[in-house]
Structure 1
Amino acid sequence: MSRLLAIALGIFLTLTVIFTAPSWALGVNNSHLADCPSSPNCVVSQNADAKHSIEPIPYHLERDKVRETLLKVLAVVPRTQVVEQTDDYIHALSKSRIFRFVDDVEFYFPKDENVIHMRSASRLGDSDLGVNRRRLEQIRLALGDLNI
C-alpha cells in the first residue's frame, strides 16, 4: 500500500511542477535576466536575438524613486500582481483576460546603470500575438509620461 501511495504522490508532484512552474529560470543570475526560450512569446532587454529583443528603459531619477514609480504603474496594469520585489528586482504575474494564461513579467535595476532591464514571457503556448512586447512598451510609455 505504501508503494502505491509513493507512486501516486510522485505523479502528483510531477504534474504540479509541469503545470505550475515555468520551463525556464526566473530572476537575476550573474546580473542578467533569463534568456527567452525559442518560442516567440517572450521579450527580454538583455542578451536577446532580434526576435526577442526589447530596449531597456533609461531613467534619470534616483533608482529607488524609479522603482517606486514602476510599482505604482504595475498596480494599475489590468490583471497584474507583483509577487516578488527586492531592491533591484520586481517579478509580477499578468493574466490574460479570457483564458487567464499567466505571463511572468520581470524588471531588473542594475546598480551600475540607469536603466530598467525587463523581460516578459508566456508560461504556456507558442505565440502570444505580441502581447508581452506590447505590455512592456505600454509600461515604458507610462513611465515616460511620469518623467522618470
Structure 2
Amino acid sequence: MLALKSKSGASPGLVEGRLAPCPSSPNCVSSEAGAPESHKTAPLPLEAWDKIPDAIERQGGRIVDVREGYVAAEFSSPLMGFVDDVEFRKAETQVHIRSASRVGYGDMGANRKRVEKLRAALKE
C-alpha cells in the first residue's frame, strides 16, 4: 500500500528559492543551511552541475523536472518499488542536494547512501 502511495506523489520542489526542509523522520538528507545535524550532508561542488543528469541516469534514477537552477529525479527501490525524490539546487558557489523518501519513516540509510554514490559518480 505504501509503495503505491509513493508512486503517486511528487518531489516537493523549491520553497522560497531553497530545497524543502527535511521532515522530522530519519529518511531524508539535505545540504541546505538549517538542516538538523542528523539530516545534514555536504553540498556538491559547483562544477558538478552539468554532470548531474548523466550521474542520475547511471545510478538508475529518472529525471522528472528540470528548470533554471533546479533538477528533480526519482529513484525506485528494487524490491518494493518505493519512490524517493532527489533534488538539486544550483547556488552561487555550490550545488545543494536533498534526498528523501516519499512515504514511511525509516529508510535504513538509503537516502544518505544514494547521495554519497551520486557524489562519487560526479567526481568521475
The TM-score bracket by the shorter chain reads: 0.7 to 0.9
TM-score for the superposition, normalised by structure 1: 0.74
How far apart are the structure 1 equivalents of 2:49 and 2:41?
A: 19
Runs of 4 or more above 6 Å deviation: none
Question: What number of residue pairs does the alignment pair up?
Answer: 118
1:28 aligns with 2:14: yes
Root-mean-square deviation (CA, aligned residues, Å) is 1.7
1:93 CA drift (Å): 0.6
1:73 aligns with 2:50: no
1:120 aligns with 2:102: no
Larger radius of gyration: 1
How far apart are the structure 2 equivalents of 1:58 and 1:72?
A: 16
More strand by share: 2
1:109 aligns with 2:95: no
SS in 2 for 1:134: helix
% identity of equivalent residues? 38
Where structure 1 has 5 or more consecutive residues not aligned to the other structure, the ranges are: 1-18
1:114 CA drift (Å): 2.0
How far apart are the structure 1 equivalents of 2:57 and 2:25?
A: 28
Task: Answer 1 or 2: higher relative contact order, Cα 8 Å, separation at least 6.
Answer: 2
TM-score for the superposition, normalised by structure 2: 0.87
Where structure 2 has 5 or more consecutive residues not aligned to the other structure, the ranges are: none
How far apart are the structure 2 equivalents of 1:57 and 1:73?
A: 13
